[in-house]
Amino acid sequence: MPGKLRLVLPHGLLLAATAFLYWAATRIAANTGAGRIGPDAWPKAILVFMGALCAWEIVRRLAMRPRGAAQPSPAGGGEGADAPPALQWGKLAAGVGLVVGYVIVVPWVGFFVATAVFLAAFPWFGGMRRPVLTTVLGLAGSLALVVVFMRVAYISLPLGAGPFQALSLALLKLIGVS
């Protein structure tokens, strides 16, 4: 990606989102009565300010570079901002994938199974390549959390569907939750 584009990409995306949201705000419908400001006034005011800030930041960043000033880091702060550490994209993708995957599967497989897999897989992808330890950690950790949340704190957590629901119910019966 060209340097200039990368430099202004976050603020460019935010500016585009601001424009879209302003369009959405124009469609807010309400019967406010004559002379009164409506429910769209507050979000519109914020969006105008936010759009102006994004535009200002884009212009500032584009204008700064030819003068040979220190190149702002992706951390965006510009002056004085420290460069962020290098990203390990594989680990990051795995982390995001696991978080999103957990959210998707937990309604189907239930809290116990989803959490056991997550607690085993997350450290594994995080660099802890000890299969026995991570597997034990997943199962024991998930069981401990089920006991803490469902038996001690009385929080109702997803049981899952089909055979997973049967498994969750059997587990709850085992730990004494009716």
Partner 1 sequence: MDVLPLLATGFGHLFTPVNLAVLAVGLVLGMLVAVLPGLTLVMGVVLALPFTYKMGVAPALILLTAMYVSGTYGGAITAILFRIPGEPMDVPLIWDGYEMARKGEAALALGWSLVAALVGGLVSAVVMVLLAKPVAGLALAFSTPEFFAIVFFGLASVVTLSGTSLANALISLCLGLLIATVGVDEVYGAERFTFGQPFLQDGVEFLLVMVGAYGIGEVLTRMGCGFAAEGGGAEKGAARFRTAFPRLSAMLGMKATFARGTATGIVVGVVPGAGATVSAFVAYGLESQYGKNRAALGSGAAEGIVAAKSAATASVGGALVPLLAMGIPGSGATAIILAAFLLHGIQPGPQVFVSSPDLVYTVFATVFAGVIGMCILGYFAIRPLCKVLEAPEAIVSAFVVVFCFVGAFAARNNLSDLNVIAAFGVLGFLFERYGFPIAPLVLGTILGPLAETNFMTTMVSFDNDWTVFFTRPISGGILALAFAGLAWPLAKAAWQRARASRSAHAQPG
Q: Tell which positions 112-171 bind partner 1, by CB under 8 A.
A: 115, 118-119, 122-123, 125-128, 137, 141, 145, 149, 153-158
Tell me how many degrees the CA angle 164-166-170 measures, rounded to the nearest 5.
115
List CB contacts of 152: < 8 A, sequence separation 6 or more: none
Nearer residue to partner 1 within complex by CB, 29 or 170: 29
Closest CB 45 distance from partner 1, rounded Å: 9
Closest CB 170 distance from partner 1, rounded Å: 21
* Burial label, 177 (beta-carbon count in 10 A; 0-12, 13-18, 19+): middle
Q: Could you say which of 12, 64, 65, 95 contacts partner 1 (CB under 8 A)? A: 95
Answer yes or no whether residue 81 interacts with partner 1 by CB under 8 A. yes
Closest CB 11 distance from partner 1, rounded Å: 8
The amino acid at residue 135 is: T
Q: Could you say which of 92, 140, 161, 175 contacts partner 1 (CB under 8 A)? A: 92
Footprint of partner 1 on residues 15-54 (CB under 8 A)? Answer: 21, 24-25, 28-32, 35-43, 46-47, 49-50, 53-54
Answer yes or no whether residue 66 interacts with partner 1 by CB under 8 A. no
> How far is the CA of 116 from the CAs of 17, 121, 124, 151, 176, in angstroms?
38, 9, 13, 18, 20
d(CA 60, CA 85): 24
Nearer residue to partner 1 within complex by CB, 2 or 154: 154
d(CA 154, CA 139): 21
- Residue 9: CB atoms within 10 A of its CB come to 13
- Only one of the segments 9-17, 160-168, 169-177 lies at the binding site for partner 1 (rule: CB under 8 A); that segment is 9-17
Q: Could you say which of 63, 99, 136, 175 contacts partner 1 (CB under 8 A)? A: 99
The amino acid at residue 155 is: I
Q: Could you say which of 2, 66, 80, 176 contacts partner 1 (CB under 8 A)? A: 80
